[in-house]
Amino acid sequence: RQQVLGQDARAPDAAELDQMQALVAKGMCEGASGLSAGLFYAPQSFAKTAEVVAVAREAAKRGGLYDTHQRDESSYSIGLLESVKEAITIGREAGMPVHFAHIKALGVDVHGQAQAVIDVVNAARAAGQDVTADQYPWLASGSSLDASLLPRWAVDGGSAALLKRLDDPTTLARIRDEMQENMRRRGGAKSLLLIGEGFDWTGKTLEQMAQQWQMDARDAALRIIRQSIETRTAGQRDRGTSVASFNMAQPDVDLFMQQPWVVTSSDGSDGHPRMFATYPEKYRRYVVERQVVSLPTFIRQSSGLVADMYRLDRRGYLRPGYFADVAVIDPAAYAPNADYIHPRELSVGVSKLFINGVLAIDNSKT
């Protein structure tokens, strides 16, 4: 969508839709396993359901699955349950499996809705639809200040258009009002930990930075967003708006994890420990300490079931003729070291790791 329509909040015409479909077909022929869509994030958020179905069909024709960062994991737009139903509808109408990326109930408005989500998925599965999900074992999601707090209409047209809106007092007032509501959804400024590496605000909450700068939390967020845009405009890489958003409830996380159609995922991104520590975190906290899932369930959710969902050839199992991907862990020592301030610390307790039969880690040394 971005290649064809840029950052604009509009529907494609027939020729543009043809272009988008052709890009998906090309990607599938080049070896993609399906189509992913991040409908929460602009500019993909501007796509209506019918557009996604039309594009997804090109992947479905070639055996692909639909892997979705669904439109709303919270109460931002259509709501969590309607968003789950939309993704399932897209898969059904396109004729392909549906996989939910990092399934969750995000924010105070939807805490406790995990069972309702599970009921919707189970109903679709009972009707014969292939629906699965993955999950990381953390109570904080990872995103950016702009995605978390700015209304989607404010970023229609990209960064330059956003800056013009911020420079208009009337429009800025409207943006700030909607930012306040989005901040509330996520538990307030104290729940937003700034995790971009190497900045003055790294490791501090948005609330702390607002206090330090003696300004409203919304204005502190806009200050960081503006600086990030200026840095990117100058051609430099910038992750200064990265946040860990502490917005999930433990009972919801536990309940999702126990479903037979949910697998483990890292959802790797800079500044969040899920990239380096997801599997040992799940093992240590949810298998050993809290016993939310059993050891066999953890292993299956982190290996064979994933291979089954993504139809990976001869992967995920210890079987004759399969690729020898083998992790040998010390059950007493396997544990994470990474945290939100030190996200790249390597985990411990991996005795040996073989990739395609080749020793990659020996006694915790690469």
Please check whether residue 144 is in contact with residue 241, taking contact to mean a CB–CB distance below 8 angstroms.
yes
Closest by Cα among 42, 119, 47, 35 to 85: 119
Q: Could you report the per-residue pLDDT of 275-293, keeping only the tens digit for each?
A: 999 999 999 999 999 999 9
The token pair at 185 is 């959804």
- If 0-12 CB within 10 Å is exposed, 13-18 middle and 19+ buried, where does residue 309 land? buried
| pLDDT level of residue 363 (50, 70, 90 thresholds) | confident
98-107, 318-327, 336-345: lowest mean pLDDT where? 336-345
| 354-364 mean pLDDT | 92
The angle at the Cα of 300, spanning 89 to 277, to the nearest 5 degrees, equals 90
Please check whether residue 177 is in contact with residue 124, taking contact to mean a CB–CB distance below 8 angstroms.
no
Q: Which is it for strands 98-100 and 65-69: parallel, antiparallel or unpaired?
A: parallel
The token pair at 146 is 């702009």
Q: Could you report the per-residue pLDDT of 224-259, keeping only the tens digit for each?
A: 999 988 888 777 777 789 999 999 999 999 999 999
Query: In the 3-class helix/strand/coil scheme, how is 113-148 assigned residue by residue?
Result: CHHHHHHHHHHHHHCCCCEEEEECCCCEEEEEHHHH
| 61-82 mean pLDDT | 97
- The pTM (predicted TM-score) of the whole model is 0.92
- Please check the confidence at residue 364 and state whether its pLDDT lies above 90: no
- Please check the confidence at residue 110 and state whether its pLDDT lies above 80: yes
| 158-182 mean pLDDT | 95
